[in-house]
Amino acid sequence: MTLKKIAKMSTKSQISTELSESISNVLGKNVRILYKSLIRMESRGDKVDNRVLIVTSYRIFITTTKVPTRVDNGFHLMEIEALESKKANHLSITLIHEHKPVSILIGEEGTSEGLSNVLHALVAAFDDLFPNVAVEDIISKVNLPFQLPSVSGTRKHSTCGDFSNQYAAMCDLCQTPFRAEVAWDIDTIYLAHDIRMLHLKDFDHLDQRDLIPLVIALQHNTWFTGVCGDGVRAGGEAWEGVCRVVRCAWPAPQRLSWRAATLRHDHAARLGHALARAKRPPAMHTVDFSQNHIEDKGAMSVLSGLANNPDGLRYIALSQCGLTGKTVTHLATMLNDNPCHLSTLSHLDLSHNNLKDDVHNLYNFLAQPNVLTHLNLTNTETTLENMWGALLRGCAARLSSLLVGRNPWSAVRRPKDPPPSFRQFFTACLALTELDFSYCKMPPDALKSLLLGLACNESATGVQLNLSGVLSSSQAAHVLESCIHGVRCLQSLDLSDNSMEFELSGIVRAIGKNHSITHLSLSRLTGKRSYAPPLIQALVHVLQEPDTALTSLDLSDCKLKGDLYGLLNALGGARRLRSLDVGGNLAGDAGARLLAKALQCNCTLHTLYIDRNAFSLQGLTDIAMALRRSVSVRRVEFPGCDAAAGGRAASERVATLWRELHERLAGNSSGAQSHRVRALALERAWAGGEAAAALAAQAAAALPPPPLPAALERAAAAAHHLLHQYLQRCGEVFAAMGGGGTSGELVTLQAVRDAMAPCSSTLQDLINEAVESLALSACESVDSADSEPITSNDPDIPDLLTPISHSGATPLGCRRRERCGRRVRPKSVAEQQCSSNEMLSLPPLHAEAADALAELPAHTLRHLVKGRPRRVKTRAPTRPITDQSQDIDEGLDEFWRTCRTPPGSEEASLSARTPLTSRSLHSLSSLASPSPLRHSPTLQRDDTMYSVTSGESTPVLLECEVSRCKSSDNVGSKAPTTPPPSRSSDNVNTMEGVEACVGGSIVGITPGAALTSNQLSDAILY
C-alpha cells in the first residue's frame, strides 16, 4: 500500500472540515500529516472518550473532537517501545518512559479495518524515517494478531541513508534546534569522500546538547558503520546516547573509537553494560579507547560485552589506559575461548600500560597460528627475551609491525645470551615492514643476533628499523658498525637520541656501504660537540659517493650550530639526496648563506626542512632568493618559528616570500626538459667539468621533443572513439527495451583528456627521472674520458661529451685532479664569524695541494694577541718569585756538554728510537747551535699528517707547545730549493731548517739561522 492511499483512508465517521482546520492550526502549517482518524480512548475504568488520532512524520498526536481543538496527548515515534492488540479493533501503545500504555479503540467492534489502517500509517511513518529497516527492528515488542503490512514508495530519500531527515527527527525528539550546517556537511562532504564513520570532531564547535541528536541519529542509519569521538569530551547525556545506539541500533555499529577523550572507568562500565543488554549479539569488531584512564574495571567490562561477538574482533587498541596484568589475562582468556579470533584479530595495541610479566596467557594466544599484523607492546615493562618463541610459532607469517620499544631485555642484571628463537624469528619473518626497539637497553649480543637475523632474511623488504637510544656502549656501536652493511632488507634506519661519543662516524660510513637503506635519521643527537666534526665528514663522504642509496637524511634538533657548515658546503655535490631535514640546529645567518649557495648547485633535492635554525629575515631572504634558481626543489617547510622570532613585520615578509617561492617551485614538478638540461649543466660545473653552459646549450638543441603530448593526444582520441561506439550500442539496447534515445555527445573529447591527465603526470615523472639519470651518466662519462676528444661519425649529431676549451681555462688534467676537492665547497668568510672550535677542519690535502705549499711566498709571522693589554692582578702570587735578572742562557752549554753521549753508543741508539717532545724553553734553545756533522733530514708528507724523518734514524715528531691562535691564514715556508731539515735525537745541536705545525699552520724558520734567546721567547709566546 502506498502513502497516497493511506492518506485517503478514513473511518465511517468523517472528520468535519472545521475540525480539520482546527487541527492544522494547533499542530502548525509545516507539520506533515500522514493519517488522521476518529478513535475511542480508554480512560479510567470502562469509561471511553472520543478523540482524534493524528500520525505525522515524527510524532503521534491525540486531540479532542471539539472546535477549537487541543492536544490531549502526544509522543514521538522513537518513544514507542511496544505495540500490542487484545481485540480486533484494539491497539495498545507502550512508551519507554511511561508505565501505563495508551489504549485506543478504532472502528466498530469485531472489525479490524480501522486497526489495519492505523498500522499502515505507523509503518509508513517508520519507513519514511528509516528506509530499508523493518519495524520489528525498531520497536522492541510487537504482538499483533496479524503481520505488519508492507509499505513502499513513501517518498524519495536523501543521501547517506537519509541521515538529514533522521537528524531532524532526533532534534524533534530531544527538543534541540535543527542545525542546517550539520545536515549539509553530512550530505555533501561525507558523501563525496565516502566516509562511513561519523566523526564528532567535525562538530565539536557545537554545544554538548547539540551532539545528542547527532549521535542518536545513527541508531537505525544504514550508511554509517560506527562513530569516532577522538578528542571530544562527551558529557553524561551524550555518552548515554552512545550507549543507547550500542544497545538498540540496527544495523549494529561495527566500529567505536574514542581516543584521548578523558573517559573514566564509569564511562566504560556503562558501555559494557549496554553491550551486555543489546537486543542482538554485538557486531562491533573495532574498539579504540587509547589515552583514556579507564583502568582494569572499565576495560574488562567492555571486553566482557564484546566476548559474544560471533564474528570475532579485528582491532583492539587500549594504549595508555592504566591497565595491569589483570586486563591482559582477561583479554587472553577471551581470545582463547573464541577460536574465530585467530582468523580475525589483526591489530593489538597494549602499549604504555604497566603489564610487567603477566602476559603468559597472551603468549599462548600468540603462539597459535593467527593473522595478527600489528603488535604494539611499547613501554609495558615486559621482558623481551621471553616472547620470541611464541612469535616464531604463530606470528612469523603475517606480522608486519612489531613495536616493543622502552622495555627491558631481561629481568636479571647480567642477561644471558639471547635465545635462539630471537634470531630465528627475524630470519623467518615474511611480511615484516616496521620494527621498533627504541630505548631498549639491549646487550650487544642481542643487537648482533637481531642484525644477523635480518641479514639472513630473504623474504622481507623495505623494513623500517628504529634503534633510537639503543647504543648504550661503544661495544654496541661497534656491533652495529660491523653488521649493518650486510642487512639488505632495511629501507629506513632511525638512530635518533644516541650519543655522538660512540663513534657514529664509523656507523655512518658502514651505512653508506648498504645499498638498500634510503632513509637515515640522526635527530636529537647528544654528546659533546667535539664529536660532531667526524660525524659530519662521514655524512659528506656518504652523500657524495656515486653509488650511495641514501635519499633522505634527518639531522633535526641536534644543535650542531657551526658544525653543520661542512654538510651545507657539500650539499651541492649530493647527487641522490631527495629529502633533507636540518631544522633545530641553530645554524644562524652564516648557515643560511651557505645553504643558499648549496641550493643553487644541487639538482636532486626535492624536500627541505629548515625551521628553528635562528635564521633572521636576511637569512630567510637569502634562502628564498636561492630557491628561485633551484631546478629540483618542490617543497620547503615554512619556517614558522624563525619567522615569528623576527616579529610581525618579519612574519608577513617571510610569508610573502614563501608564497611567491612556492608558485615558482611548482614549475619544478612540470615536465619541461629545460630543467633537466639545467641540472646537467649544474652537475658538470660542480663535478669540475668545463664549458657547462656550452654543454647545456648543445644538449638543449639536441634533445628530441617530449613524446608524451602527441602520444597522449592520440590515445585520448582512440579512447574517445571507443567510448562513442560503446555508448551507441548501449543506446540501441535501451531503445529496444522501449526507452527514448538521447541526442548529443555524452562523453566529449575534452572529458577524456581530463580523465587521462593524472596518467600523463605519472608518465612525465618517469621520463624526468630517466632523463636525469642519463644526464648524470653523461657527466660521469665526461669526467672519466681522456683528454682527446671523441670523434663522431655522424656530423649531424653534436658531440655533447667533448669539452670545449676556452682561453685561460684550467687544463683538463688539473681539473680532473680537483674534482674531489670541488665536491666540497671551500670554506666561506661567513664561517670565520664563529669560533675556531665550532669550525670543521679542512678536508684532507691531496698530493698536488701539498706540493703547492712549498711554492707559497714567505712572510713574517705576526702575533695577533701580543699587544692585548693584560688583566690587572688582584691577588698575591702563591708561588715564590724567582730572580728575573738572571740570564736565561746561563748553564745551557754545560747542560748539553754533560748530557751528550758518544755517537753509536747504546744510550744514543735508545734516544734515537724515542720521540723527542720539546715542551720547555731549554728544549727549544738546543736548536740554536748549528753543527755540520750530521746529514740533512728530509720532510715526508701524506694526506693526513706531516712526519719529519732523518735518513740515519727512526722518524721522530717535533712538537711545540704554543699559545692558541684563532687565525690560520698566516702560512710561512722555506726556500723551494732547500729540503726542510729536521732534528733527531742524536743531532740535537744541528739545525738547517725547522717546520713546526702551530694551530694548523706551517711555521717556517730560515735554515742556518741561529736563534737567540729573545727569538726563542717570541716563538714560545707565539
Alpha carbons 115 and 108: distance in angstroms, whole number: 10
Residue 452 CB contacts under 8 Å (≥ 6 apart), including other chains: 423, 483
Distance of CA 1015 to the CA centre of its chain: 63
pLDDT score at 824: 65
69-75 LR contacts (CB < 8 Å, sep 24+): 69/19, 69/22, 69/23, 69/26, 70/26, 71/26, 71/27, 73/102, 75/102
Alpha carbons 290 and 320: distance in angstroms, whole number: 6
pLDDT by residue (tens digit) across 688-704?
555 555 665 566 566 67
- Looking up cell 631527495 gives 578
Q: Burial, 536: exposed, middle or buried (Cβ in 10 Å; 0-12, 13-18, 19+)?
A: buried
Alpha carbons 588 and 832: distance in angstroms, whole number: 13
pLDDT score at 189: 93
pLDDT score at 993: 39
pLDDT score at 629: 84
Alpha carbons 108 and 702: distance in angstroms, whole number: 99
Residues in the chain with pLDDT values less than 70: 1-13, 45, 152-155, 669-703, 739-744, 768, 772-773, 775-825, 828-868, 879-1022
CB contact at 8 A, 319 and 350: yes
Q: Which amino acid is at 53?
A: L
Radius of gyration of the chain (CA): 43
Cell of 105: 479503540
pLDDT score at 697: 58
Residue 594 CB contacts under 8 Å (≥ 6 apart), including other chains: 565, 568, 569, 825, 828, 830, 831
The DSSP line for 231-270 is T----HHHHHHHHHHHHH-SSPP-EEE--SS--BHHHHHH
Q: Which amino acid is at 348?
A: L
Alpha carbons 27 and 19: distance in angstroms, whole number: 12
pLDDT score at 513: 93
CB contact at 8 A, 35 and 77: no
CB contact at 8 A, 908 and 917: no
pLDDT score at 131: 87
Cell of 671: 615536465
Residue 133 CB contacts under 8 Å (≥ 6 apart), including other chains: 126, 220, 222, 250
Q: Helix, strand, coil: what percent of the chain each, to 5? A: 40, 10, 45
pLDDT score at 439: 95
Give the residue ranges of DSSP H helices in 842-891: 847-851
CB contact at 8 A, 1007 and 973: no
**Residue 515, by phi and psi: left (phi above 0), alpha (psi -120 to 50) or beta?**
alpha
What are the C-alpha distances in Å from 199 to residues 190, 211, 254, 255, 754? 10, 11, 14, 12, 33
pLDDT score at 894: 65
Alpha carbons 917 and 938: distance in angstroms, whole number: 19
Query: Which 8-state DSSP code applies to residue 228?
Result: E
Query: Which 8-state DSSP code applies to residue 419?
Result: P
CB contact at 8 A, 638 and 662: no
Alpha carbons 283 and 254: distance in angstroms, whole number: 6
pLDDT score at 155: 66
What are the C-alpha distances in Å from 766 to residues 69, 670, 760? 78, 12, 10
CB contact at 8 A, 93 and 83: yes
pLDDT by residue (tens digit) across 811-820?
333 443 344 4
Phi, psi of 518 (to 5 degrees): -105, -15
Give the residue ranges of DSSP H helices in 805-942: 812-817, 819-823, 847-851, 892-899, 906-912, 921-925
Q: Which of 797, 874, 824, 288 is nearest to 567 (CA)?
A: 824
The DSSP line for 688-719 is T-S-HHHHHHHHHHHSPPPSHHHHHHHHHHHH
Coil, strand or helix at 74:
strand
- Other Cβ atoms less than 10 A from the Cβ of 782: the count is 21
Alpha carbons 676 and 631: distance in angstroms, whole number: 8
Alpha carbons 159 and 471: distance in angstroms, whole number: 56
Cell of 272: 559494557
Q: How many angstroms separate the most distant Cα atoms in the chain?
A: 147
pLDDT by residue (tens digit) across 511-570?
999 999 999 999 999 988 889 999 999 999 999 888 899 999 999 999 999 999 999 999
Residue 931 CB contacts under 8 Å (≥ 6 apart), including other chains: 987, 989, 990
Is the omega angle on the peptide bond into residue 251 within 30 degrees of 0, that is, cis?
yes
Q: Which of 608, 554, 607, 558 is nearest to 587 (CA)?
A: 558
Beta bridge partners of 663: none
CB contact at 8 A, 537 and 570: no
What are the C-alpha distances in Å from 785 to residues 579, 625, 790? 32, 36, 9
pLDDT score at 781: 61
Alpha carbons 542 and 520: distance in angstroms, whole number: 11
Q: Which amino acid is at 814?
A: C
